[in-house]
Copies of this chain bind each other. A is one copy, B any other.
Amino acid sequence: MSEEIPYAEHAEAIRRLMAEYGRLLDLKDAPGWAALFAPDGEWIGGERYGVIAGRAALAAFVEREFAATPPCVHIFGSIAITMRGRDATAWSRWMLIEQRENGGESDTGLRIAIAGSYSDIIVPTPEGWRFKRREVTADLPAGL
């Protein structure tokens, strides 16, 4: 972290990075989303997805997993950022809203598909703050 730029501006830039992560994923903009990671950045998705490393693999992952899915919206809450001098860590909550079949007149068809958490290491790069490592859990539905 540059000594010259104040703490608050860095924290704000990290919040923008996180919002962009959801915005671009919901737009299914695979290369735009992959560019939010450092060139050697990793998305870690547990037993189901394993480790996806590097922007080319990240973009291909989104193409493969999300491009054909129905419209969706990610909502993030409770972002806890810790600045550590040269990098930052963060923990945050996410939930995914999907459009499913309509269950009747009183139903919008919108469902919470999954809810979980992100544990991140975020680093400053010449392009700005980027994800070095984003570890994803899916906590609900339990046993997914």
Residues of A within 8 A of B (CB): 6-9, 11-12, 15-16, 18-20, 22-23, 26, 70-83, 91-93, 95, 97, 99-101, 103, 106-117, 139-142
Contacts and interface: CB of A to CB of B under 8 A. Distances in A.
Contact of A11 (B8, B77, B117): B8
A2 to B, nearest CB: 15
Contact of A115 (B15, B79, B92, B97): B97
A74 B94 CA distance: 10
Quickly give the copy total for this chain: 3
A142 B109 CA distance: 10
Contacts of A91: 19, 23
Contacts of A8: 6-8, 11
A62 B115 CA distance: 22
A74 to B, nearest CB: 7
